[in-house]
Every structure is written in structure tokens, then in C-alpha cells.
Structure 1
Amino acid sequence: MAEIVLVGGGHAHALVLARWARGARPASRVTLVTPERSVPYTGMLPGYVAGHYPREALRIDLSRLCAAIGARLVEGRACGLDEGTETVRLEDGRLLPFDVLSLDIGIHGRTDALPGLREHGVGAKPLGPFSTAWDGFLRDVSQGGAAPEAAVIGGGVAGVELALAMAFRLRNERRAKVTLIERSERLLEGAHGRTRRRLAAALNLWSVRVLTGAAVEAVTERGVRLEGGGFVPASLTVAATGPVPYPWLETTGLTLEDGYVSVDGCLRALGQARIFAAGDCAHLTRSPREKAGVYAVREAPVLAVNLCRAVEGRRDLKPYRPQRNYMKLVSMGERRAVLERGLLSVSGGWAWRLKDEIDRRFVSSLTPPR
């Protein structure tokens, strides 16, 4: 029997499995390759950091999704593929054959981009290591083993959200201090002006120290050393700088764009009949878009259909047409959020409740009945 191999437990693949569980599943074996049996939902991460959600609320149970359709789950991390033999290579040396392959491995924070980060800090992505580091930090603070001081490197939306969430969570700790460090001269490059002002006001409200025009020299056990001699004390240092594609994709022979798998209008890797990619690891050649979870969500129904058709040898694949604009909801630490779409930028508790409802509904949709 033919085999579809899904490499990576990203949101697109999770939604594909959920869709197949509801019907229209492929007439083939299905294998999911993932380092973890469950993954956290990225959209709820700031709420988890702020204390609005327990860690369990973020959990997408990939093993249950696989069980719902009788798919095999292989715990492991892919590190290469061979087009000639149609096999995926795992870090432990195992080789998995495929007839149709789909990549949804996401992106990651480069722990080697900043000296000392790998040893003394953590990237905001992937979320598993970050959430473990955050839980450990909170435990140490509560037991008096660490000062309630955290540093976030990167002043984009992800960094600002994390800094606000941390400051809100630590609001009752004496001498708590969260510092946001950005290399350029202002935060939130590319954001709507009103969105930037609203989030700047929130940073001020929760006493987040903001350092712009500050280049990091190294991360140390005691904090962040800045170029020019400055030092930011921190028991926890998190890098929320721009994530990058996994380097092993460079060895695959697939056509890449800046390290991302170039796909056509049907989410197929360019020049490949049976290899697909979706989510943040894919580059949409016909309609390039920024990296955002909304695209992975919208790609999933198309990917689910096309994988079924490809394994049957059909050529009538379904096209994916990404939307031009989408609604952004940015958490503000407390139960408030900024909603931005196009020229509209508004904020309030109602926006957070809207985000909360959307996020909970999404996680619920990925929870098959027992």
C-alpha cells in the first residue's frame, strides 16, 4: 500500500489529520514524523506566559489525531531526504520510505546567532524548549532561587507580546524587571502607527524597560552584555529575533528561496510531483506572503485534498489562493489585545475575548473525540 509521510507536527499537518479524521481520508498508509507527541499552540503562548492559560490548554495532541485515522506516529527529527530512493532520513539514522511527502516543520530561533544564547538563554521558537525554560524560571523565582528579572531580545510583535506577558505575570513580585532589547531605533517595524502607540503605552503601563538602538554582544549566565559596555541583568533571557528555516533543507536538493521550500500554486515543491510543503517552512512562489499562522490554517484544507489526489496519481490538484489581508490580534499582557486589519487598529478587553474565543475554538477543533 502507498504511504504518505508527513514530516513535522505544524498547524497545517495537525489540521490535515483532523480533517481526515472527519472523513475523506486517503486510501493509503499515513505516517507522521515529529519530535514530540504533542505540541503547544503558538497563538496562546502569550496568554500562557501571562498566566491566563495552563500549559495543558495549549496542547495539541498529535498522537490522538494519528490514532483517530489509524496513522503511525514516529517520534524523531528529520534531517534529510533522498529524492532518488524516496526516503526521509532521521537524526537517529532511521530511513522512512514515502510515496508522497509533505513538509511542515516550521522555523526556529537561531541559538547560534548570539554568543552565549545556546548556553545561557532560549529562543522563543520552538515553543517546547521555551515553555520549559519559562516554567523553570517561575519555579526558581517562587523559591527564591532566581531574581524576577527577564530580558527579551527582539522588538517585533513576538518580542513585545512576550515582554508584556512576562511583566504582567511578574507584576506582584518585588523588584521584578522585564527588559526589551531592540537593535534598531524603534520597536515594531512595519506595524500600524496606532498599533505601535497602543503597545508602547502598554509597555509603559507594565513598566517594561525598553532599549532601542541596543546591539547585543553576548548572553551570559547573569544577563545580556551590550555592545558599548551596557549590561542587562536577567535570570532568563529569551531571543525573539526573526526565526530562520531549518538548515537541513539546504541538503535536500529541493528548490529553495532564502532557505524555505519553494512551492507552486498547489503547495507542491517546485519540480516535484509528490513532495509538498506548507506552513512557515514553505515559500509561496506565486503569491509570496509573510510568515503567519493564518496561512498554515488556510493551506490545510487544500493540502489535505492534494495529498490524497497525489497518492492516487491524479494531476487535478486543488489550487491554494492566499488572502491578501488578515486580522492580527496582539496580546497586551493583561486580558486586553490590539486588533489590526488594514488601516484599522483598535484595542480593548473585547479584542482579547475575541482572540481567546478564536484560539480556544482552534485548539478544540484539533481534539478528536475519545
Structure 2
Amino acid sequence: MHTPLPLTRDLVLIGGGHAHALVLRAWGMAPLPGARLTLISPAPTAPYTGMLPGHIAGHYPRAALEIDLVRLARHAGARLILDRATGLDRAAGRVHLRDGAPVAYDVAALDIGITSDMPALPGFVDHAVAAKPLDAYASRWSAFLEALDAGRVPPQVAVIGGGVAGVELALAMAHRMARHDAARVTVLEAGAQALPGVSAQARSRLLAHMDRLGVALITGARAARIEAGAVVLQDARRVPSALTVGAAGARAQGWLADTGLHLTEGAITVDRHLRSVTDPAIFAAGDCAHLSHAPRPKAGVFAVRESPILAANLRAALSEGRGAGRMRAYRPQRDYLKLVSTGGKGAVADKWGRVW
């Protein structure tokens, strides 16, 4: 005897990242009959990461960064649960939450980002802040500026990591602190060269901007520990710092390791449909996903481009067995425009070997 599909199927979006924000927007314009949508997010807003350097540099207020998830959920007719996901019971189809009761799903998608904290580095938890997720960093920066203006701390900042993120934030902080005498921002790069992810010409321009703003660069610098007022390197050198920011790479959310999903460097391994290679009921997008068919660096542009594919494929997954359309494949671009802000209201652009 044929068992009819349930009249209502539950789609649960875990995390309010860029891809999910755009899925909510699309869903509100064309909801799927018979589907119940839930968004789980630890906060009612989500920051737009592309504006972070501008906020740090003083060009935008904190509120300007926020994506209003409450408004998007209302637009999509979605239930919004303000809580943090901590695990998946895939056998039962449940999302476990930090505070609330488990949430049932038929199909779930994750867009929970990454973190750049360094818990294994002694002193990091007590004396430093990770650049990602940006909420804690933006709050710590605001508190640092308040203390700096009151004369309670020296204008000394250290950034661990000399990639694009570290250099961009260093330039933004140096720009903001330029009015303070003896302001000093130091970028600590473990490798022999900073900015490995950009072209040689872009690197040259960014290093020139660092020089103009007085941002120091130390290569071959491996942090041994963080203290209240300094970063101590493995060669025993001490780099004075009243604020230490971690921007050396990133790692996935730790609880994903307990889901039983196939992971690649901690990120959920997905196929060309953004579907878990382990579980057809699970999708992932943004930095928490690893594209098995076309690996790419972590960049917000991919999350934005993934969103229409994710929206279409979630609809198809919910409608399987009901004559739904086929899944769409996500084919990421090979190169993408890298815009690295330089502290002021300017940036270095790098794409296809061209720099401007």
C-alpha cells in the first residue's frame, strides 16, 4: 500500500548567514505549499561581514552592519527561534539547541560560518579576541576605543595573521587610531610573506598602504602565548599590545564533528547540489560548507552566489516524490573580485591578474 507523504514538511535553516538571509527573501516571494519554515539563530540580527572593515575604521555605525532576521523571517512566514544549535540527531531528525527543546526537521540547511579563535594558543581566550565571528570582535574594539580615548590603555594593537583579513583589519584599526600619538598596529605573520592570497601587484600596493599608515609587519613570527599587554613570540620577542586580534585562518564550529557527517577540515562536505555527501536531508552553504566538486577559499561572494541554488534545491528536496523539479548544480567561479579596503574610503581591487 502506498503511504502518502505528510501534508506538512519541516525545513529548518540553522544559522542566519548570507546564504540563508537570501533564501528567506526568496521564500517570502514564492513560498512552497505544505512546507513549514523555521530559522534558528542566536541573535535577531546577523552582521554583514563585508562592511566590518568600514565599521572598524569608523565609516559605518554598528547598526548599519545588521541584517534584520526578524523582518526577513516575517517576510518568509517563518518561525524564528533565538537559540544556538549545538548538535544534530540525524536518526530522529532533530536539531539540538543550547537552551530550548529539540526542533524537528525533514530537511535542514546549515549556514553557521566559521571562527578564527585560537583556543590552543596559551592566553588567547583571556587576552585576545577572534576576528570571526565578528560580534565579539566589534564589541571588544568598541570597548578598546573607549578605554583608549579615556587614556586607560596605550594605542597598541597586534593582529595575528597576515592574510587578507588580518591586513584589512590592521589597516582599518590604524586608520581609526591615527589621531592618537604613538599609535602602533603590528601584523604578525608566521610565514615568510604576508598576503599569500593576492597577486604580487596587489600585495605591493597593500604593503605600501601599511607603510603609509605606520602598520608594522613581522614575518616568520609565531606566537607562543598571549599576555595582558603583549604577544610573546616563539623566539622570545615581545610585541606590545593592548588589543590582540586573531585572524590567522579559521576553523569550523566544533559541534559539527559530532554529527556523523563527512567533514573536510571541519566543514561539511557537500556535492554540487550543496547537499551533504553523507545525508540527503542535510544541506550546507557559506564558510561552513566544503565544495567537494570545486574547492574554493572561504569568501562571502560564494555564499551569496550559492543562495539561489540552495533555495531551489531545498524546495526540490522538500517536494521529492511529488513531481518536483530536478536539483540545480552550483558551479562556483574560478576567480572572484577581491576588494581589500585600505583604512580610508578606498580599496585595492584584484581579479584576473589585474589590480586597480
* Same topology, TM > 0.5: yes
Indicate whether 1:34 and 2:41 are aligned: yes
Question: What secondary structure sits across from 1:334 in the alignment?
Answer: coil
Corresponding letter in the other structure for 2:147? D
Indicate whether 1:25 and 2:31 are aligned: yes
Q: Give me the whole-angstrom Cα distance separating, in 2, the residues matched to 1:25 and 1:329.
A: 35
Question: Which structure 1 segments of 5+ residues have no match?
Answer: 347-370
- On the 8 A contact 1:151/1:179 being kept in 2, the answer is yes
What residue is the counterpart of 2:51 in the other structure?
44
Match of 1:248 among 252, 255, 263: 255
Indicate whether 1:324 and 2:334 are aligned: yes
Deviation digits for residues 274-293 of structure 1 (CA, Å, limit 9, x no counterpart): 21111111111111111111
Q: Give me the whole-angstrom Cα distance separating, in 1, the residues matched to 2:177 and 2:278.
A: 51
Relative distance call for 1:273 and 1:228 in structure 2 (3 A) is closer
1:206-355 to 2 correspondence within 5 Å? 206-313=213-320, 314=324, 316-346=326-356
Corresponding letter in the other structure for 1:220? E
Following TM superposition, by how much is the alpha carbon of 1:252 offset from its aligned partner in structure 2, in angstroms?
Answer: 0.7
Say which is worse superposed, 27-36 or 293-302, in terms of deviation: 27-36
Following TM superposition, by how much is the alpha carbon of 1:183 offset from its aligned partner in structure 2, in angstroms?
Answer: 1.0
Question: What secondary structure sits across from 1:320 in the alignment?
Answer: coil
Say which is worse superposed, 126-135 or 142-151, in terms of deviation: 142-151
Say which is worse superposed, 215-224 or 315-324, in terms of deviation: 315-324
Match of 2:160 among 153, 156, 160: 153
RMSD of aligned C-alpha atoms? 1.2
Q: Give me the whole-angstrom Cα distance separating, in 1, the residues matched to 2:234 and 2:262.
A: 38
- On the 8 A contact 1:264/1:270 being kept in 2, the answer is yes
Match of 1:204 among 183, 186, 211: 211
Indicate whether 1:166 and 2:176 are aligned: no
Corresponding letter in the other structure for 1:123? A
- On the 8 A contact 1:25/1:308 being kept in 2, the answer is no
Following TM superposition, by how much is the alpha carbon of 1:191 offset from its aligned partner in structure 2, in angstroms?
Answer: 1.6
Corresponding letter in the other structure for 2:338? K
Following TM superposition, by how much is the alpha carbon of 1:315 offset from its aligned partner in structure 2, in angstroms?
Answer: 6.5
Q: Give me the whole-angstrom Cα distance separating, in 2, the residues matched to 1:127 and 1:39.
A: 10
Deviation digits for residues 136-178 of structure 1 (CA, Å, limit 9, x no counterpart): 0011111112111111110000000011001100001122111
Question: Which structure 2 segments of 5+ residues have no match?
Answer: 1-7
What residue is the counterpart of 1:60 in the other structure?
67
Q: Give me the whole-angstrom Cα distance separating, in 2, the residues matched to 1:166 and 1:26.
A: 45
Following TM superposition, by how much is the alpha carbon of 1:190 offset from its aligned partner in structure 2, in angstroms?
Answer: 3.2
Deviation digits for residues 201-249 of structure 1 (CA, Å, limit 9, x no counterpart): 0000000111111111111111211122211111111000101111211
Corresponding letter in the other structure for 2:145? L
Corresponding letter in the other structure for 2:20? H
Q: TM-score, normalised by structure 1?
A: 0.91
Following TM superposition, by how much is the alpha carbon of 1:307 offset from its aligned partner in structure 2, in angstroms?
Answer: 1.0
Q: Give me the whole-angstrom Cα distance separating, in 1, the residues matched to 2:51 and 2:218.
A: 26
Q: TM-score, normalised by structure 2?
A: 0.94
